[in-house]
Structure 1
Amino acid sequence: MKCFVIAATLLAVAPALAVEAAPPAPAASPVAPAAAPEKANASAIPSAADLLFEQPQLKNAAAGTTLTYDYLRRSGIAKGPFGPPLDDTIKLTLEPGKGGDGRNIGVEMFSGTNRFPAGPFEDMPGNPVIPLFLENHLTNLARVLQANPRYLKLAIRKGLRDGATVTPIKVDYKGRTVDAWQVVTKPFAGDALAQRMRGMDNMTYTFVTSPEVPGEIISIEAQSKNTEGGELLEERLSYDQKAG
């Protein structure tokens, strides 16, 4: 259950550690933003932590099925510190757990030469794609910024706990409109060490979930642009409705 260490860290107090980063570098041309989802009414707003880390998200994902997520990472920073664009998939194969909402989960984290070991997980009720995405994201971000990953994890934990906006929205799912939640946080905004983050202190994390979708996770995005709109980092994951 290695990848769930990050989820626990995001929700528990950890010491702040310094970040060391290289100077800012130029970025590529801007990318047009996605269309804003339609808002919906809701009588109660759950917390970001509850939606992302405390729900039994696999309760509506049957054993014997596979959840497939399309993944994209690209960056316009000069000299390509994040590496070439990566367009791949993350697949979760679900088998019966000990009972209830738990599932035994096999993970295919990317494919071919991009693949690296992850999982498996036993009797897991939550969707591991969230910590898998965040762990991979923060490993690369810490490397590029020459930062201590624990500092970055603490900032995201605090952002989700104290600075996240949770909004009820409507999304399209297999030809119909369903209720969903959108969680948005900018955890590095105003950080004391923001000037050492190569302009990526405006990194915005957006999560979209819905109990109508198997595994509940519809999409995850981490995005940062420079003041001219150039792409510093675009990293996103989305549930493949055709494959899932």
Structure 2
Amino acid sequence: MKALPLLALVFATGFSASLPVRAATDFSAAEQSVFMEDHLAGLRPPLTLHYVFRKTGTMEEAFDDKVDVALTAQPDGSCCAASPQFFSGKRAITLPPVEGAKGNPAILYFLERDIKEMQRLTKGQPNYFRKRIRMAVYQGATVRDVNLPYKGKPVAVKEFSISPYLDDPNHARFEKLINKSYVFMMSSAVPGGLYGIRTRISGASAGDAPLMVEEMLIDGAGTPSKP
């Protein structure tokens, strides 16, 4: 098996296995937009999708970095094979290439890194976090249509927001994560269909600064409003 299909199967297909058996049409709007859409349709490789990454909050040291996904043509000329550079220098993370990508691999890369961070913080198992996220996308995503700036102009963005751990029966094991939220910002107006992803762990009280906010936004984006 080639490297990315492994990542895609672990995250996308693997997540589906954790859900009840469903008809082929039984997918939420969030699932279809985030995990199933052909985000790379219409792109003409070679090209690179550039994202800026920012981590802030009181829990750990803040930093800014970048995420690049290089897209090249398949042997038959179709789009795309993808190779990531997730962070730079000492922070660089090794992630597998994607062959025959249709959905934007940056989404899976962000989530796989996020899951590893949750494992580091809580000692929980990666598959457990994957299941909670995918279940929340299937069952509990809220949807909001907004206009956000891209290269100086407003573009239409659909936001899908989830809080996978609020109703987690095992939340006592993961108290640090109980109010963690995710916002997936999807837009056909930006290359690769992904405007950005944001996660947020709020402080203990409403007036407290967030414990952690991590954002990955397409280069040229403005800063979205807080969830």
Higher helix share: 2
> Where does residue 176 of structure 1 map in the other structure?
153
Q: Please tell me the root mean square deviation across aligned C-alpha atoms, in Å.
A: 2.2
Residues 106-134 of structure 1, C-alpha deviations (whole Å, 9 max, x = no match) = 21111111112223222211110011000
Distance 1:114 1:98 in 2: 32
* Counterpart pick for 2:48 among 49, 57, 66: 66
TM superposition score normalised by structure 2: 0.83
- The question of 1:102 aligning with 2:106 is answered no
Match for 1:6: what amino acid?
A: F
Unaligned runs of 5+ in 2: 20-27, 222-227
Distance 1:3 1:232, change over 3 A: farther
Distance 1:10 1:233, change over 3 A: farther
Q: CA deviation at 1:73?
A: 2.5
Distance 1:214 1:101, change over 3 A: farther
> Where does residue 237 of structure 1 map in the other structure?
216
Distance 1:129 1:113 in 2: 20
> Where does residue 117 of structure 2 map in the other structure?
140
Higher RCO (CA < 8 A, seq sep 6+): 1
Residues 156-200 of structure 1, C-alpha deviations (whole Å, 9 max, x = no match) = 111000000122222222233222211001111121122332342
- The question of 1:220 aligning with 2:225 is answered no
SS at match of 2:45: coil
Distance 1:69 1:113 in 2: 18
Distance 1:177 1:231, change over 3 A: closer
Deviates more, 1:46-55 or 1:67-76: 67-76
Match for 1:65: what amino acid?
A: L
Residues 3-23 of structure 1, C-alpha deviations (whole Å, 9 max, x = no match) = 322232333317xxxxxxxxx
- The question of 1:158 aligning with 2:158 is answered no
* Counterpart pick for 1:90 among 29, 54, 67: 67
> Where does residue 89 of structure 2 map in the other structure?
112
Distance 1:8 1:151 in 2: 14
> Where does residue 17 of structure 2 map in the other structure?
12
Distance 1:10 1:109 in 2: 23
Unaligned runs of 5+ in 1: 15-45
SS at match of 1:198: helix
Runs ≥4 residues deviating over 6 A? none
Match for 1:69: what amino acid?
A: Y
Distance 1:230 1:8 in 2: 36
Kept in 2: contact 1:60–1:214 (CA 8 A): no
TM superposition score normalised by structure 1: 0.77
Deviates more, 1:65-74 or 1:91-100: 91-100
SS at match of 2:95: coil
Q: CA deviation at 1:75?
A: 4.2
Kept in 2: contact 1:105–1:119 (CA 8 A): no
Kept in 2: contact 1:3–1:128 (CA 8 A): no
Aligned length: 207
Distance 2:78 2:33 in 1: 16
Q: CA deviation at 1:102?
A: 2.8
% same residue? 25
Distance 2:52 2:155 in 1: 20
